[in-house]
């Protein structure tokens, strides 16, 4: 069993609760800067990248080892290129191999500007384990806040949370076939305050390549999302167009699409993309409208990065099916995929068919969701993210019917006026666990459980557009795989703390009974009961959705009611999923 990465080992929250005005208590005196802040590139004092032919020109870790410039180029991480990772824009240093390209964190004052929900570091460590240290943020109003940063090791750190892994390490004695890791790590910022500068930690072995403020996503609300399960073999597709069917939760007058190359080792090229409202099957009501990427028709997405389309004036209906089409001009043999679509999508014959209104070119059925991870709409009041497993993902729900419980919840929100019409983002992955990584986070694999909820929390929850509330509904797969109630509770507590440190409202759902399923033994049920008692009574979350109480059989509380059971004793069917959604107190959202 692969042990997951505890999210707290990657990033810690503000070291003290924010006082009124958003300043960490006692931090004001810490952030009176004694030096003039400079842009990060003017502080570069160390060289991490070497040409394969001249490995002695760089020394990242003090032993002469370094990153390969050729490997970085193969991943699409070229000098001066701006990458978007976890919705943050970070520029890879615009320096040739052998030139100073990063900062060893030693308390330098860095000029950084912007308002946002997180301070984002592109960094790595060279101490064999996580490198930790405290720093401060100074705001334009003169106040400040403290943060604590933890960066994993470049050769031993977790693959599940890395931004990119390179296949080699350069040394003066020759190139090693060993993965080198770079990480994107975020820490909270005081809300609605303009950042002026950042003091880096004094942390020997912490190397910072880029730094930026991640915008809050204002003006956008998430309407649909799908979490990446793994990197898997596909097609191969050459000169094909994929047309994915997505069901919106909220609508708006503008749209933007998000594509993720998560877990990949090489760039992927999207030649063009479009959006349309679906008529039936792969056919659109009207001719699809092209989207652009930085004013270009297509985009290359580096390994581990993502791409947002430009804002498009397009009326997105709420509770409707959209067709998102994108052309893959080259050969794509592997891709990041959300395995369970619970929805039929389509693949065309050869050619760019993104503009076709008819479904005739789309001759093959696709049941997974490659590359596309989000649809945001203009305006709106924010979104609710559901972090879950197969019960949230839609296993055993009716295909093409949008009967996953988050779909039913979104429909309830649209049908009432007492609570704002929030977007609902389904970030369920079939087989997912709270604490343990099913998929290790790197390489092509048939394991589709995704990395753990702790490992993916930053990407799938914190980085979503205008998220205000997160619902955590996981744990049964951990328990069925041998985890203890103590381990699951510790993971849930950490998720609650990380979310609340970012200003999110954190809700938890109790774990459903699964008696009668092979791995749901009496011992597992006892652990489940213990976890549920903690969820209900500990007061760690801002609210509790007692899904266990909704579906359990009063006569046999270790089992689901027969009318809610899909038949496998683990997953509710359509009626059970609807009962979960109908039980949610909308006021908690």
- State how far the Cα of 30 lies from the Cα of 145, in Å rounded to an integer: 8
- State how far the Cα of 127 lies from the Cα of 205, in Å rounded to an integer: 6
The SS3 assignment for 319 reads: coil
- State how far the Cα of 431 lies from the Cα of 394, in Å rounded to an integer: 11
- State how far the Cα of 408 lies from the Cα of 426, in Å rounded to an integer: 11
Instruction: Give yes or no for a contact between 253 and 378, defined as CB atoms under 8 angstroms apart.
Output: yes
- State how far the Cα of 568 lies from the Cα of 237, in Å rounded to an integer: 35
State the pLDDT at residue 291.
98
- State how far the Cα of 375 lies from the Cα of 243, in Å rounded to an integer: 14
State the pLDDT at residue 191.
83
- State how far the Cα of 16 lies from the Cα of 33, in Å rounded to an integer: 20
- State how far the Cα of 300 lies from the Cα of 211, in Å rounded to an integer: 22
State the pLDDT at residue 322.
98
- State how far the Cα of 31 lies from the Cα of 199, in Å rounded to an integer: 8
Cβ-in-10-Å burial (0-12, 13-18, 19+) of 175 comes to middle
Give me the helix-helix angle, 522-537 and 485-501, nearest 10°: 30
- State how far the Cα of 569 lies from the Cα of 562, in Å rounded to an integer: 9
For 537, residues 6+ apart whose C-beta sits below 8 A from its C-beta are none
State the pLDDT at residue 23.
35
Q: What angle do CA 477, 568, 1 make, to 5 degrees?
A: 25
State the pLDDT at residue 192.
87
CA 279 to chain centre: 31
The pTM assigned to this predicted structure is 0.93
- State how far the Cα of 398 lies from the Cα of 343, in Å rounded to an integer: 9
- State how far the Cα of 384 lies from the Cα of 420, in Å rounded to an integer: 11
Q: What is the mean pLDDT of each run of 10 residues along the chain (589 residues)?
A: 37 34 36 74 98 97 98 98 97 98 98 95 98 98 96 98 98 97 96 95 98 90 98 98 98 98 98 98 98 98 98 98 98 98 97 98 98 96 97 98 98 96 98 97 97 98 96 98 98 98 96 97 98 98 98 98 98 98 98
Count of beta carbons in the 10 Å neighbourhood of residue 575: 14
State the pLDDT at residue 217.
76
Instruction: Give yes or no for a contact between 535 and 510, defined as CB atoms under 8 angstroms apart.
Output: yes
């Amino acid at each position: 069993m692969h042990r997951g990465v505890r999210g707290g080992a990657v990033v810690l929250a503000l070291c003290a609760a924010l006082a009124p005005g958003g300043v960490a208590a006692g931090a004001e005196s810490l952030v009176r800067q004694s030096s003039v802040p400079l842009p990060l590139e003017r502080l570069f004092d160390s060289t991490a990248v070497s040409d394969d032919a001249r490995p002695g020109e760089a020394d990242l870790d003090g032993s002469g080892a370094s990153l390969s410039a050729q490997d970085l180029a193969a991943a699409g991480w070229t000098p001066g290129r701006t990458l978007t990772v976890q919705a943050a824009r970070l520029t890879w240093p615009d320096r040739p191999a052998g030139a100073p390209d990063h900062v060893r964190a030693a308390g330098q004052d860095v000029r950084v500007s912007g308002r946002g929900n997180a301070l984002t570091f592109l960094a790595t460590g060279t101490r064999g384990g996580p490198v930790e240290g405290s720093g401060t943020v100074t705001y334009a109003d003169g106040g400040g806040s403290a943060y604590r940063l933890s960066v994993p090791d470049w050769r031993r750190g977790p693959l599940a949370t890395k931004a990119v892994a390179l296949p080699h390490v350069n040394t003066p004695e020759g190139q090693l076939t060993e993965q080198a890791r770079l990480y994107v790590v975020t820490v909270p910022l005081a809300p609605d305050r303009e950042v002026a500068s950042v003091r880096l930690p004094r942390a020997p072995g912490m190397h910072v390549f880029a730094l930026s403020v991640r915008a809050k996503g204002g003006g956008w609300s998430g309407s649909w999302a799908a979490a990446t399960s793994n990197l898997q073999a596909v097609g191969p597709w050459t000169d094909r167009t994929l047309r994915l069917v997505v069901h919106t939760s909220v609508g708006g007058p503008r749209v933007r699409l998000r594509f993720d190359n998560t877990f990949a080792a090489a760039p992927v090229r999207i030649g063009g993309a479009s959006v349309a409202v679906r008529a039936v099957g792969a056919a659109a009501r009207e001719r699809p409208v092209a989207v652009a990427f930085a004013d270009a028709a297509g985009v290359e997405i580096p390994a581990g990065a993502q791409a947002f389309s430009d804002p498009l004036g397009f009326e997105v209906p709420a509770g409707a099916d959209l067709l998102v089409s994108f052309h893959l001009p080259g050969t794509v043999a592997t891709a990041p995929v959300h395995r369970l679509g619970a929805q039929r999508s389509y693949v065309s014959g050869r050619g760019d068919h993104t503009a076709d209104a008819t479904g005739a070119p789309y001759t093959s059925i696709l049941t997974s969701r490659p590359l596309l991870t989000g649809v945001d709409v203009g305006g709106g009041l924010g979104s609710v993210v559901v972090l879950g497993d197969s019960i949230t993902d839609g296993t055993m729900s009716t295909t093409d019917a949008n009967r996953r419980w988050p779909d039913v919840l979104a429909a309830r929100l649209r049908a009432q006026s007492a609570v704002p019409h929030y977007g609902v983002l389904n970030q369920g992955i079939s087989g997912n666990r709270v604490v343990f990584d099913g998929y290790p986070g790197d390489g092509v694999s048939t394991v589709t459980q995704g990395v753990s909820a702790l490992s993916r929390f930053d990407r799938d929850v914190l980085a979503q557009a205008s998220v205000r509330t997160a619902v955590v509904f996981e744990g049964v797969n951990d328990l069925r795989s041998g985890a203890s109630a103590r381990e699951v509770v510790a993971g849930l507590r950490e998720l609650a703390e990380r979310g609340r440190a970012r200003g999110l409202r954190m809700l938890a759902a109790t774990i459903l009974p699964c008696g009668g399923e092979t791995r749901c033994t009496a011992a597992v049920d006892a652990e489940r009961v213990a976890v549920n008692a903690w969820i209900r009574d500990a007061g760690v979350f801002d609210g509790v959705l007692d899904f266990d109480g909704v579906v359990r059989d009063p006569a046999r509380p270790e089992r689901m009611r027969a009318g809610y059971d899909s038949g496998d004793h683990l997953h509710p069917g359509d009626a059970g999923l609807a009962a979960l959604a109908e039980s949610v107190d909308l006021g908690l959202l």
